[in-house]
Structure 1
Amino acid sequence: MQGNSEVLVIDDHMKRKQQVELLLQFIGEPCKLVSSANIGEVLTEQVAWRAVVVGQVDIGSPFELVSQLAGQYKAQPFLLIGELGDCVADLPNVIGSVLEPFSHSQMTQMLHRCQDYHLKAPSKTKPTSQHQEILFRSLIGRSGGIQQVRQLIEQVAVTEANVLVLGDSGTGKEVVARNIHYMSARRSGPFVPVNCGAIPPDLLESELFGHEKGAFTGAISARKGRFEMAQGGTLFLDEIGDMPLNMQVKLLRVLQERCFERVGGSTSIDADVRIVAATHRNLEGMIDKGDFREDLFYRLNVFPIEMPSLSERREDVPLLMQELIERLASDHKVTIRLTERALDSLMEHTWPGNVRELANLVERLVILFPNGLIDVNDLPSKYRHVDAPEYDHEYDESLLEQDMLNDVFQNDVYEPPESSMSTQLPPEGLNLKEMMTELEIDMINQALETTDWVVSRAADLLGMRRTTLVEKMRKYSLSKDSA
């Protein structure tokens, strides 16, 4: 069965179908919209969609349609817009419902359940698409850098090439390695990580290659090394830049000859292992200083993947926060919610510890405010980058998330000031859409230049939310460098 990374939306109600599309775009999920009359063209046994969302249909009831489709396509997870009826509640692939008014946290949670259904399905029906099989965690996001990483993972996973993952500490290099293993033909084999910088140099050889009984003092029995433990799977060599030079020579020999011997042994053991290495160091600079072997570098650097730092993908912070919160809620049955200005403040942070720092912050907030609502003033002081008055906790919390999505769902009509432009239609006519787009781009550019490209202040000048302005800047490819 071929996988599809999109969410299929079946609905004959045009306005609600557009709202679902906007919500999915808001959380970074590609989708395809169809009416109930076109189901047969897109829903087949050969394609497994990320999820199938069923809404209102012109003929019959949505319950009847979901019941029929779920029975026919058992490998496909379904979601229903509205409350689940008794006729579909017992179907295992009807995962749940999406209630109105729509909420990004509810939709994200439902899509994660659909992903779990795919992963638990029998292997013969398990889709092979990147989006359905990928471990979300630090790879979630819509920024260009992280999208490129996901694409590179998908391209290299199906090969046997050695991979070198580069990036600062905490960016998620091991997550990349696990995804490469999970999406490869070796997924049924073991994934064995080893931190080359955490093991004393005199023990690293034994740790990697194992030893025979009596090979050295304390070797009271034979022991397998990490290469043997990873046979048929993937060996992840983290912090490869910390490996001593003498071990680099021995590792190079294994990569070249695909065999090794245990310490104190003479029997050659085949190395049926795929190597994924990672480092935060500048290996090419280390080569110039003589601290890293150039020949080993080129053996490892067959397919480099560079993880962007979180400061380079700050627009992904809200989605990462949601993913981390959902994971903690699943593990500990405790959750939190953040106001929009708290998210804006976190997006202004530089994140020197990257995704690891973000995960630690989420866990800290869950401990401090279990099932609570987090505002700017509830954040640790170093994360407060937005001035905000004390939060009024009498405000109806149920409205906060809807406020955050108002800009997505509203179709406000632009009303220019009376003196800003002529209201007379030229005799030759005009392209109103292009005219309004040019006006919007011009006003955004003026606001950004006036505020020296401080996005939050520019958003205030334009009377819109910061997240809305960020989306418009991305839409029109506006950046300080292009100005």
Structure 2
Amino acid sequence: MSAKQPGAILVVDDNPDILIAARLLLKQHYQVVKTTDNPFDIEDMVRAHGIEVILLDMNFNRDAISGQEGFYWLKKIIQQDPSIVVLLMTAYGDIQLAVDAIKAGAADFIAKPWQNEQLLGAVAAAFAHAKDKQQLGKLTRQTQGLNQALTESSTGPAFDFLGQSAAMQQVFATIDKAAQSDANILITGESGTGKELAAHAIHRASLRAAQPMISLDMGAISDTLFESELFGHKKGAFTDAKSDKIGRFELASGGSLFLDELGNLPLQQQATLLAALQNRCVTPVGGTKAIEVDIRLICATNDNLQQAVNEGRFRQDLLYRINTVEIRLPPLRERSEDIPLLVNYYLTHFAHKYKRTLRIAEQDMAALCGYAWPGNVRELAHAIERAVILSDGDRLDISSVLGANSAVQSTPGKGPGDDYDTFDLEVLEQRAIRAALKHYQGNVSHAAKALGLTRGAMYRRLEKYGL
């Protein structure tokens, strides 16, 4: 006997002899064969067993010949899961009834008693149809999910990933080597060093470049929505699940999945993520069918994950899984020779954006090169944008860049409890934020907590001050 075909079929009929005959025949050919004489069981059995094909009787009341019960349950099945293929059965073969059944959504019409070869042929065709419907549904959900993901975030990085220093040339060389494999990559570095830009560079250089790169900020999703965002959910899975949603894993299948701020993930969610990575499949919330996924995982963090492992905040087995290759992005103070390149790049970019013609004086460039840039490339980009907006004439006025920052530089020996040369609250707030970021090595979440701010409030201040 040939091996059984994968697939799950449900036979629904009020005649026990029909159920026995169908089960004995079909179980020789298919892995999952379920039967019931009560159509009210259909919904639960579909959920429990991942049913793909249903053989449905058209009449459940004695002497009923109209087939209306079959039409009713056909409609209910299609509403529950449009990908299920339904074959309607009746002992009263009628051409018009068959036509009406197919118009209502049935794939075929089978008269009882059946010929075994005829039934097996119809069931085989139904399973093939089910696979086609599942694939079409997947493509439709992927298209909708990709459109939503691209609406929520930009289609790619706003800026180029630049650097000519020896440190950055080493980063570029590592990216070129690692990108050609499917190895999981962990990008580390202080806040603002360009980890998302590096992730996009990896994806563009990879063999998956023609497929999507899907991003998710792990620090921005709530505990309750974690599985829904990553794995998707089925309609009705929870209160606000008004329709099916495809998760980021499935959206990224064939391409790259970028998980930013991974160090913020709670331990329980770390275990869930690890299981998905190990099994290479996900199950949507409220669903029963596991979905195989093929992703290239890229993660980023400004946390010291090995220290987090030592402190019990991060799973060691997950760290092993995600950092086959680790790429550390150096802070801007360690590659100050890149500052002129970056200043000119952002000056050109923002001058074009705001329709300005500006140049930068040599002494101003020297001043910018002499600044420590604790907020790294992100701070520099925001600072140049602000200067372009506020400058008069054709010369870039960097007073808006170093005006408040110069006060910070002028008192390097002072700490948070020392006397300051100003009582300006914005300057003091900037100093506190910079000090917290420095103390926590650029970890925004830890700095925000120390300052008594939410992550959202912290990011608003980083944006406000160009940090």
TM-score normalised by length of structure 2 = 0.52
Q: Does 1:222 find its partner at 2:244? A: yes
The 3 A distance-change label for structure 1 pair 333 and 228 is same
Distance 1:162 1:169 in 2: 21
Q: Give the match for residue 326 of structure 2.
A: 304
State the Cα deviation string for residues 104-158 of structure 1 (Å, max 9, x = none).
xxxxxxxxxxxxxxxxxxxxxxxxxxxxxx9894632221211111111111111
Partner secondary structure for residue 374 of structure 1: coil
- Unmatched runs of 5 consecutive residues or more in structure 1: 1-133, 388-483
Q: 1:322 aligns with which of 309, 319, 344?
A: 344
Q: Give the match for residue 352 of structure 1.
A: 374
The 3 A distance-change label for structure 1 pair 303 and 372 is same
Q: How does 1:175-190 map to 2 (within 5 A)?
A: 175-190=197-212
Q: Give the match for residue 173 of structure 1.
A: 195
Q: Give the match for residue 37 of structure 2.
A: none
The 3 A distance-change label for structure 1 pair 378 and 330 is closer
The 3 A distance-change label for structure 1 pair 361 and 378 is closer
The 3 A distance-change label for structure 1 pair 338 and 291 is same
Percent identity for Structure 1 against Structure 2: 44
Partner secondary structure for residue 352 of structure 1: coil
Q: Does 1:333 find its partner at 2:355? A: yes
Partner secondary structure for residue 300 of structure 2: strand
Q: Give the match for residue 220 of structure 2.
A: 198
Report the residue type matching 1:283 in the other structure: L
The 3 A distance-change label for structure 1 pair 180 and 335 is farther
Contact 2:280-2:292 at 8 Å conserved across structures? yes
Q: Does 1:264 find its partner at 2:271? A: no
Q: Does 1:157 find its partner at 2:185? A: no
State the Cα deviation string for residues 183-240 of structure 1 (Å, max 9, x = none).
1111111111100001111111111110011111111111011111112111100000
Partner secondary structure for residue 345 of structure 1: helix
- Give, in angstroms, the shift of residue 332 of structure 1: 3.5
Partner secondary structure for residue 178 of structure 2: helix
The 3 A distance-change label for structure 1 pair 224 and 373 is same
Q: Give the match for residue 424 of structure 2.
A: none
State the Cα deviation string for residues 45-75 of structure 1 (Å, max 9, x = none).
xxxxxxxxxxxxxxxxxxxxxxxxxxxxxxx
State the Cα deviation string for residues 74-99 of structure 1 (Å, max 9, x = none).
xxxxxxxxxxxxxxxxxxxxxxxxxx
Larger Rg: 2
Q: Give the match for residue 77 of structure 2.
A: none
- Give, in angstroms, the shift of residue 165 of structure 1: 0.1
Contact 1:167-1:173 at 8 Å conserved across structures? yes
Q: Does 1:284 find its partner at 2:333? A: no
Q: Give the match for residue 465 of structure 2.
A: none
The 3 A distance-change label for structure 1 pair 199 and 377 is closer
Size of the aligned set, in residue pairs, is 253
- Unmatched runs of 5 consecutive residues or more in structure 2: 1-155, 410-467
Q: How does 1:94-133 map to 2 (within 5 A)?
A: none
Q: How does 1:225-244 map to 2 (within 5 A)?
A: 225-244=247-266
The 3 A distance-change label for structure 1 pair 262 and 338 is same
Contact 1:135-1:179 at 8 Å conserved across structures? no
Report the residue type matching 1:258 in the other structure: R
The 3 A distance-change label for structure 1 pair 384 and 161 is same
Contact 1:283-1:292 at 8 Å conserved across structures? yes
Q: Does 1:313 find its partner at 2:331? A: no
- Give, in angstroms, the shift of residue 291 of structure 1: 0.8
Contact 1:206-1:225 at 8 Å conserved across structures? yes
TM-score normalised by length of structure 1 = 0.50
- Give, in angstroms, the shift of residue 338 of structure 1: 1.0
Q: Give the match for residue 168 of structure 2.
A: 146
Alpha-carbon RMSD: 2.2
State the Cα deviation string for residues 266-308 of structure 1 (Å, max 9, x = none).
1111111111000000101111111100000000010000000
Distance 1:145 1:137 in 2: 19
- Give, in angstroms, the shift of residue 253 of structure 1: 1.2
Contact 1:138-1:320 at 8 Å conserved across structures? no
